[in-house]
Chain A
């Protein structure tokens, strides 16, 4: 495999792409371009597959050749609107059609696809050709600009429970309250709910209720009519109007003033509101998702949050765990952010060293996932290639890591193993009234081994050895 110009000179096949013997020059060109290219025979079997196609799809050429193109390419269009099939049926090439493929990691890779008919020297159709370009970088940039929902990355049991509820919650029109510390991804979850909901074609608008004083928040949410106050020279639609048909995300709902709580309660109860200066109520066609980092029950108890509003918004409650309670997700999240920043900045950071990851795992992340994202972003400034190392992490993190746990990870693992072993042995001895032979049999080890382990683990046992009582 590979592009070997000398092979062309010798008239030999420069690679095993399948077409070299026919036209080595064409093969060399195809191998050198950054667009993926594959060709099929009339039965849709892959007949050639260039190097860029390998890179974009993650499928090696040797595994692709001879397989049906849909099994290799796995695009959303394969089943219902294959552009190559249409080209072969109509003779019209497709140009820059957008689609996505699903790679072996389950990632959706956005592509731009073009197709053409392949004919032999006699003009007979011998198959089709498809070229495709990876649009991941463009899409990532677009997402950043449009603040689209990014992937929720987690394998933790607490998050799995939330993910399991998402389909039902999204399909309903119920008001949702998301609870979680700052930086846990409340808005991300709200966006995911919106994108999974029947309202996904509509807009998603977010308002931070804690960031605006009452009068501004009111005009921001409900809008105003021309002449409502001195500077109101034109009608201004509020967020409830702008989010019509979609979802309105009210962040930091716990910071709402008592006056605004009453106004919001009316919208949620009666589904109508009145813009400032309006004489007529307007219907609110929005789904409301709220979020807070505060303990709303506590605020209700202190009479700082209306009980009726609390019950109105608390139809479905989703509690996002802080990062320190889902540290199992740390490698996954680090990998996710590295991939994201690689795409955005066009660099090739390969990963994170085990030492740097160990330092992160010892951190408590008061700023949660947002803090982790900032740490990785900072590392991208200092790291110019290869893995992220401890030197690329914030100095404060290195100090905390050293203070909180001076032992290297391997010693801690060793300690954990010894501790677990000691607990299991002690439990077995108690079960058998400290009869060593019976406990060893129960543990599936020889009694000599048990005695050796008792000595190594320095287990304090009573003088009675249980032989008389068994």
Chain B
């Protein structure tokens, strides 16, 4: 399973639509991290971003604020989007692996609840 995080200055990038760096983390079947890489994304075009994610084989995207249209398109290609996340990238990743996302301490101000309520009902978190 591959997970993408949009990062900036070691933290989750504030707006995914224009984020410039993605960290791609690969997990093995047992959920252990196999490797990670960082890719530069220069293009702001929504279609380009969705295609970059699908070509990278990403199954989960953790990001900051994201426009509804882009989030819809990403979800439509089968990627699980965990939006409106904030904090140090490594801490966020650890929280995800422990199944602790979404969490108030890792959510952008004013966004906890509205965007997370629906996803909370689904089980996710541990990398498979």
Contact = CB atoms under 8 A, between A and B. Distances in A.
Interface of A: 57-60, 63-64, 67, 70-76, 78-80, 101-108, 151-152, 154, 160-161, 163-164, 166-168, 170-171, 196-198, 200
25 contacts: A63-B109, A67-B109, A71-B64, A71-B108, A74-B64, A74-B65, A74-B108, A78-B14, A78-B15, A101-B65, A102-B15, A102-B17, A103-B65, A104-B84, A106-B66, A106-B67, A107-B67, A108-B17, A160-B72, A164-B76, A167-B54, A167-B73, A171-B47, A171-B48, A197-B47
Interface residues of B, number: 37
Given A107-B68, A152-B69, A79 B14 contact: yes
Interface string B51-80: 100100000000011111101110111100
B54 to A, nearest CB: 8
B45 interface: yes
Contacts of B17: 76, 102, 108
Contact of A167 (B8, B18, B50, B66): B50
A59 B109 contact: yes
Contacts of B71: 106
B69 A71 contact: no
B46 interface: yes
Nearest to A168: B51
B19 interface: yes
A152 B73 CA distance: 11
Contact of B15 (A58, A67, A75, A196): A75
Contacts, number: 108
A81 B93 CA distance: 27
A38 to B, nearest CB: 12
Contact of A163 (B20, B54, B76, B109): B76
Contacts of B109: 59-60, 63-64, 67, 71-72
A80 B47 contact: no
B13 interface: yes
Interface string B1-29: 00000001000011101111000000000
Given A80-B18, A152-B69, A160-B75, A71 B46 contact: no
Given A59-B109, A76-B15, A79-B8, 10 more contacts: A71-B64, A72-B109, A78-B14, A79-B19, A104-B111, A106-B67, A106-B68, A107-B67, A151-B69, A171-B47
Contact of B14 (A74, A107, A154, A160): A74
Contacts of A198: 45
Contacts of B35: none
A105 B114 contact: yes
Contacts of B50: 167
Nearest to A200: B45
A36 to B, nearest CB: 14
Contact of B110 (A57, A106, A154, A160): A57
A103 B69 CA distance: 13
Contact of B67 (A59, A75, A102): A102
Contacts of B19: 79
A72 B108 CA distance: 7
Contacts of B18: 76, 79-80
A59 B115 CA distance: 14
B68 A105 contact: yes
A107 to B, nearest CB: 7
Contacts of A73: 14
Given A164-B77, A171-B48, A71 B72 contact: no
B84 to A, nearest CB: 7
